[in-house]
């Protein structure tokens, strides 16, 4: 379901994995890798426990979907300017409205 939602957003290049042994024990996790070269910020991981919500998990990607499509050089430029991805996304959406 997560992979389908990412494909709908045009983020089919993100890798999705289901992990049986997560970072916090034996519970299963889902991991989405946005940038395999970025070991600190290049992925999102979430436990598939009773608190998991697919809508909330996918919402993170929806809130940044156009930002994720930018070339790395533009993302680096925004990072250097301390512009948060979701703030950039909001400004981008206003500019195309």
Query: Quick check: 30 pLDDT over 70?
Result: yes
Query: Quick check: 36 pLDDT over 80?
Result: yes
Per-residue pLDDT tens over the stretch 37-80 = 888 889 999 988 889 999 999 999 999 999 999 998 999 999 99
Q: Where are the domains of the chain?
A: 1-61, 63-97
Beta carbons within 8 Å of 25's beta carbon, 6+ residues apart: none
CA angle at 72 for the pair 39 and 45, rounded to the nearest 5°: 35
What are the structure tokens assigned to 13, written together?
């290049």
- Decide: 18 and 2 in contact? Cβ < 8 Å: no
Please tell me the predicted confidence (pLDDT) of residue 41.
82
Its pTM stands at 0.82
Please tell me the predicted confidence (pLDDT) of residue 97.
80
């Amino acid at each position: 379901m997560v992979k389908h939602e990412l494909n709908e957003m045009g983020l089919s290049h993100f890798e999705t994995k289901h992990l049986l042994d997560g970072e916090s024990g034996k519970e299963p996790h889902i991991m989405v890798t946005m940038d395999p070269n970025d070991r600190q910020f290049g992925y999102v991981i979430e436990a598939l426990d009773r608190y998991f919500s697919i809508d909330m998990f996918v919402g993170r990607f929806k809130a940044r979907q156009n930002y994720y499509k930018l070339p790395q050089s533009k993302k680096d430029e925004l990072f250097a300017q301390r512009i948060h991805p979701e703030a950039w996304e909001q400004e981008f959406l206003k500019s195309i409205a």
